[in-house]
């Protein structure tokens, strides 16, 4: 039997990708990152990530680095009431309306609901944003629960991580999360009761979920699986009703519980 070698172009692409992954690992090696294969499509970049790095710095700040075709996305948890993006109209929570084009910073996109506060935030972040020197393929996105920097591969990453920490600190200090005023009235009654019962376990952050799983007792695991596993189909059908619209807080909570149960059953 004769096997053909992959085309030279294919071999080059694979080689280049492996080199890039190793370069990223080397840039953040002081944090001892873990790495895993993923298959995540990012609608804002219209691109797919196939590799995820996770690590903590020496102050216990958590980070993820997603690798895309020409860029990486540096992500850290955030708690804020703001929603905006720089250089990328956001297709997830629809911060896609141009608020302002700022010299040496970029184009600021919002959903127009908090433009006054976002203007104040940009002014506070002005020096740090300018220090990043974004080009048109780079930018920043602020969600209620995460801060993301999209950067080209040639970035050193350690300086960007330092700026990321500063930006996170300024935003959380001056524009904190509104607190838990979540209304779950959009959920079907049975799913709402499940979320209210297990709300403290509905964690979106991968790091925190991993820590949560490690701390769950056998009894807690069995209770979760017993209640939620039979409802997974109903939860997925409910999530599908959103289509291209952003998920509500209740829907995000249900999605997090479903993901938690799937991880627990996978590792049984």
Give the per-residue pLDDT at 178.
Answer: 65
How would residue 2 be classed by pLDDT, with cut points 50, 70 and 90? very low
CB 168 within 8 A of CB 118: no
Query: Burial of 31 by CB count in 10 Å (0-12 exposed, 13-18 middle, 19+ buried)?
Result: middle
**3-state SS assignment for residue 37:** strand
What is the rounded average pLDDT of the residues 95-118?
A: 94
Q: Which two tokens stand for residue 137?
A: 């393929």
Reported as a single tens digit per residue, the pLDDT across 46-78 is: 999 999 999 999 999 999 999 999 999 999 999
Our CA angle for 66, 166, 70, nearest 5°, is 25
pLDDT at position 177 is: 82
Mean pLDDT of 205-218: 84
pLDDT class for 180, splitting at 50, 70, 90?
low
- pLDDT the model gives residue 233: 94
Contact present, 20 and 26 (Cβ < 8 Å): no
Residues in CB range of 39: below 8 A, 6 or more apart: 48, 49, 50
| Residue 32, number of CB atoms within 10 A of its CB | 9
Identify the weakest region by mean pLDDT among 24-38, 92-106, 178-192: 178-192
Crossing angle for the helix pair 218-228 and 249-266, nearest 10 degrees? 120
Q: Which CATH architecture has domain 23-174?
A: 2-Layer Sandwich (3.30)
Q: Can you read off the two tokens belonging to residue 92? A: 């997830």
The token pair that represents 12 in the structure block: 């080059």
Instruction: Give the sign of the dihedral formed by CA 91, CA 139, CA 163, CA 81.
Output: negative
Contacts of residue 25, Cβ cutoff 8 Å, sequence gap at least 6? 33, 35, 53
Tally: H helices and E strands in the chain? 8, 9
What ranges do the domains of the chain cover? 23-174, 189-266
Instruction: Report the percent of the chain where pLDDT is more than 90.
Output: 65
């Amino acid at each position: 039997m004769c096997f053909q070698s992959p085309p030279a172009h294919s071999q080059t692409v694979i080689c280049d990708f492996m080199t890039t992954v190793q370069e990223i690992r080397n840039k953040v090696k002081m944090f001892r990152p873990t790495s895993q294969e993923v298959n995540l499509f990012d609608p804002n970049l219209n691109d797919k990530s196939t590799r995820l790095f996770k690590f903590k710095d020496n102050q216990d700040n958590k980070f993820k680095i997603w690798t895309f075709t020409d860029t990486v996305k540096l992500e850290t948890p955030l708690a804020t009431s703001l929603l905006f993006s720089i250089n990328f109209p956001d297709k997830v929570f629809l911060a896609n309306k141009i608020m302002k084009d700022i010299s040496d910073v970029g184009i600021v996109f919002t959903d127009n609901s908090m433009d006054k506060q976002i203007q104040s935030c940009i002014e506070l972040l002005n020096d740090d944003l300018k220090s990043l020197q974004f080009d048109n393929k780079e930018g920043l996105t602020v969600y209620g629960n995460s801060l993301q920097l999209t950067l080209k591969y040639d970035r050193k990453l350690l300086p960007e991580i330092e700026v990321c920490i500063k930006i996170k600190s300024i935003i959380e200090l001056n524009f904190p999360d509104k607190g838990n005023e979540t209304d779950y009235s959009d959920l079907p009654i049975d799913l709402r009761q499940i979320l209210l019962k297990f709300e403290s376990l509905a964690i979106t952050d991968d790091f925190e979920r991993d820590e949560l799983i490690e701390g769950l007792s056998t009894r807690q695991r069995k209770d979760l699986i017993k209640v939620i596993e039979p409802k997974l189909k109903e939860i997925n059908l409910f999530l599908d009703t959103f289509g291209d619209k952003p998920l509500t807080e209740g829907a995000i909570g249900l999605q997090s519980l479903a993901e938690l149960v799937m991880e627990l059953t996978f590792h049984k």
